[in-house]
Chain A
Amino acid sequence: MNSIKNTACREDYNHYVKRKVLVIIILAMMTLVVALYALCSGSADIPVIEVVKALLGLGTEKSVIVTVGIRLPRVIMAIISGIGLAMAGCIMQSILKNPLASASTLGISQGAAFGAAIAITYLGAGQIMSNTSGAVAISNPYLTTICAFIGAMIVTFVILGLSKYRNVTPETMILAGVALSSLFSGATALLQYFSSDVQMAAIVFWTFGDLGRVSMKEIGVVTFVTGLSFIYFIFNRWNYNALESGEHTATGLGVNVPKVRLLGMTIASVSAATIVSFVGIINFIGLIAPHIMRRFVGNDYRFLLPSSAIMGALLLLVSDTFARMIISPVILPIGAITSFLGAPLFLYLIFKGVGQNAKN
């Protein structure tokens, strides 16, 4: 009798798990479709078949240059950055038990912006030059990226250091993040005030965010960092599930809570800092992607982590394609577009309560 009941219980549960997995598979397929569309579309439209041929190395010279040389790095960077930012946001929200936690709330993005502003105003990365699409480009992107990364990591280590000093509680971390965010925003504003017109334009341009800045080599760096972080987070998914039940319950379940929090925050921050340093400030992806997926798959990190990551990729890819297509050939700033498209979507989700019955 027991085993019959258990089998029925297991079947129901397996069915439930399959539905969650199906959500992830559908999201991944949607991302692939949008990626293919992004490779086809632009100032020069290329048919799907040509794109596929170009990807396989069989296309015409023009299609290979446009697809593989120009559009593919951008599409890959959108996917990887979306994954990284959403994953970091998801983990920060879990660890800090705060629905507003993300790289921008904690000041990591502001730290990066300040680092970039220093590079532009004081380290000679500030001359601007026209690029092919008529926008501006920073003359020394490597220096800017390195300084942005240092800025972001300073914020990360100050938050973690302060938290360690006064015990690692979510409250101290988020409050320290808010304070640092304000500090670095103010510092960047002061730098802008005292910089020349050219430098100021370069700082503003950097903070807009641009997925087209990177080459395949840089994508490799971001993929490596994001990949390692993803493996670490997936490996710790049960710890994050336990943390959702409260600190003491998690400890009772064998979780070393301070260690899981500190390592999780460090890895999420490094991952977000790396991405922001390469592509500039991209708002909202880290915040919105986990929230959307919580409504569809609940709070179980076995499903929430991978689905948030893919949702981040999908959102960033859609935003970037929109930014490229809407008044082509002008490419709108991606950071503005993610906020512009993300905020109404977020509001809609909050008020419509989509997915309240997702589990049924």
Chain B
Amino acid sequence: MLKIDALQFSYRSNKKILDKIKFDVTKGECVAILGNNGAGKSTMLKCLNKIMSPQKGTVSVNGIDLLKLSRLEIAKNTAYVAQKNEGNQITVYDAILLGRKPYIKISPTKRDYEIVEDIIEGLNLEELSLRYIDELSGGELQKVMIARALAQEPKVLLLDEPTSCLDLKNQLEVLKLIQEITKEKQIAVVIVIHDLNLALRYCDRFLFLKDNSIYCYGGIDVMTPENIGAVYQVPVAVESYHNQRVVIPLT
């Protein structure tokens, strides 16, 4: 469904931040992007919907190269949730309605409102719908941002560290929600995530970035102590606990 091929990005002409990035994601699948700080994870995510324009390569959704589409068309195919979300004095309802922005010509239509209300109901946000988003807790705000992204009715959902500011309960809740949405809506999801154990628990495939290119990409079988040790330069063990794989640092 989502195919990335020969993607290359650099801020200046010489230094390549990303090189020869090639992978694909099928629908209903959640891919974790893993790697050290500065490996280019967030940059890669932003290249996938042209928030940053890659110099080379293609990002195609169902065979159509997104990078050749207009910004509005890209926004109808992909939705992006930023790492840091700015609280603002608009209501939760309006924040989610903003997700319909790519479709709104002059004013929202009846269908736009219906989509927003279905999402509010689906994510149990009814109680919050008229609260200003700058009054929400971190977990609530993150859910609203995911709700906004869903209002875009994307085929591909891009999430940049969606759990980085959340407590354990909210981390699990938000990732569970993302996992359910991925399966239910049959969309392709790409998540930049630091926590390897959360990635193991909620993601289907794993992509390691190292030295500006893909170190390895695959299913659970790539989550080996060797690969993780090589990418993060920390010795680890990967054990099974109650049928759940866990990564344990050995330092």
A2:B98 contact, CB within 8 angstroms: no
In the assembled complex, B109 has its CB within 8 A of some CB on chain A? no
A-B residue pair count with CB separations less than 8 angstroms: 103
In the assembled complex, B173 has its CB within 8 A of some CB on chain A? no
Interface size on A, residues (CB 8 A): 29
A254 nearest CB neighbor, chain B only: B75
A242 — which chain B residues lie within 8 A by C-beta?
A: 98, 101
B90:A298 contact, CB within 8 angstroms: yes
Query: Which residue in A16, A235, A252 is a CB contact (below 8 Å) of B51?
Result: A252
In the assembled complex, A13 has its CB within 8 A of some CB on chain B? yes
Given the complex of chains A and B, what is the CA–CA distance between A13 and B96 in angstroms? 13
In the assembled complex, A218 has its CB within 8 A of some CB on chain B? no
In the assembled complex, B195 has its CB within 8 A of some CB on chain A? no
B94 — which chain A residues lie within 8 A by C-beta?
A: 241, 300
B79 — which chain A residues lie within 8 A by C-beta?
A: 252
A217 — which chain B residues lie within 8 A by C-beta?
A: none
Given the complex of chains A and B, what is the CA–CA distance between A242 and B75 in angstroms? 12
**Would you give the shortest CB distance from A226 to chain B, in whole angstroms?**
21
In the assembled complex, B89 has its CB within 8 A of some CB on chain A? yes
In the assembled complex, A205 has its CB within 8 A of some CB on chain B? no
List residues of B (99-133) whose CB comes within 8 Å of A's CBs.
Answer: 99, 101-102, 104, 106, 113-114, 117-118, 120-121, 126, 129-130, 132
Query: Which residue in B90, B130, B132 is a CB contact (below 8 Å) of A12?
Result: B130
**Would you give the shortest CB distance from B196 to chain A, in whole angstroms?**
25
In the assembled complex, A43 has its CB within 8 A of some CB on chain B? no
B89:A299 contact, CB within 8 angstroms: yes
In the assembled complex, A251 has its CB within 8 A of some CB on chain B? yes
Which candidate, B2-10, B27-35, B54-62, B80-88, is the interface stretch facing chain A?
B80-88
In the assembled complex, B212 has its CB within 8 A of some CB on chain A? no
In the assembled complex, B46 has its CB within 8 A of some CB on chain A? yes
B86 — which chain A residues lie within 8 A by C-beta?
A: 244-246
A253:B75 contact, CB within 8 angstroms: yes
B98:A359 contact, CB within 8 angstroms: no
A254 — which chain B residues lie within 8 A by C-beta?
A: 71-76, 101-102
In the assembled complex, B142 has its CB within 8 A of some CB on chain A? no
A245 — which chain B residues lie within 8 A by C-beta?
A: 85-86, 88, 95, 98
B114 nearest CB neighbor, chain A only: A6
In the assembled complex, A352 has its CB within 8 A of some CB on chain B? no
Which residue, of A16, A249, A299, has the highest number of chain B Cβ atoms within 10 A?
A249
Query: Which residue in B74, B93, B121 is a CB contact (below 8 Å) of A5?
Result: B121
Query: Which residue in A246, A256, A298, A300 is a CB contact (below 8 Å) of B82?
Result: A246
A246 — which chain B residues lie within 8 A by C-beta?
A: 82, 84-86
Given the complex of chains A and B, what is the CA–CA distance between A249 and B102 in angstroms? 12
In the assembled complex, A9 has its CB within 8 A of some CB on chain B? yes
A9:B126 contact, CB within 8 angstroms: yes
Query: Which residue in B71, B101, B126, B132 is a CB contact (below 8 Å) of A298?
Result: B132
Given the complex of chains A and B, what is the CA–CA distance between A248 and B49 in angstroms? 10
Given known pairs A244-B88, A299-B90, A359-B91, the reply for A10 and B117 (CB within 8 Å) is yes
The majority secondary structure among interface residues of chain A is: helix
**Would you give the shortest CB distance from A7 to chain B, in whole angstroms?**
9
**Would you give the shortest CB distance from A109 to chain B, in whole angstroms?**
28
Given the complex of chains A and B, what is the CA–CA distance between A9 and B71 in angstroms? 31
B130:A13 contact, CB within 8 angstroms: yes
Given the complex of chains A and B, what is the CA–CA distance between A245 and B81 in angstroms? 11
A336 — which chain B residues lie within 8 A by C-beta?
A: none
A239 nearest CB neighbor, chain B only: B101
Given the complex of chains A and B, what is the CA–CA distance between A218 and B166 in angstroms? 57
Given the complex of chains A and B, what is the CA–CA distance between A274 and B202 in angstroms? 58
Which residue, of A238, A241, A252, A255, has the highest number of chain B Cβ atoms within 10 A?
A252
A294 nearest CB neighbor, chain B only: B89
A10 — which chain B residues lie within 8 A by C-beta?
A: 113, 117
**Would you give the shortest CB distance from B171 to chain A, in whole angstroms?**
21
A241 — which chain B residues lie within 8 A by C-beta?
A: 90, 94, 98, 101
Query: Which residue in B49, B76, B88, B130 is a CB contact (below 8 Å) of A299?
Result: B88
Chain A residues with CB under 8 Å of chain B are: 2, 5-6, 8-10, 12-13, 16, 235, 238, 241-242, 244-246, 248-249, 251-256, 294, 298-300, 359
Selected A-B contacts with CB under 8 Å, 27 pairs: A2-B121, A6-B114, A6-B121, A9-B120, A10-B117, A13-B93, A13-B130, A16-B130, A238-B104, A242-B101, A244-B88, A244-B90, A245-B88, A245-B95, A246-B84, A248-B80, A249-B80, A249-B81, A251-B49, A251-B50, A252-B158, A253-B99, A253-B152, A254-B75, A256-B71, A298-B91, A299-B88
Closest 9 CB pairs of A and B: A254-B75, A252-B80, A298-B89, A6-B117, A254-B102, A299-B89, A254-B72, A253-B101, A251-B51
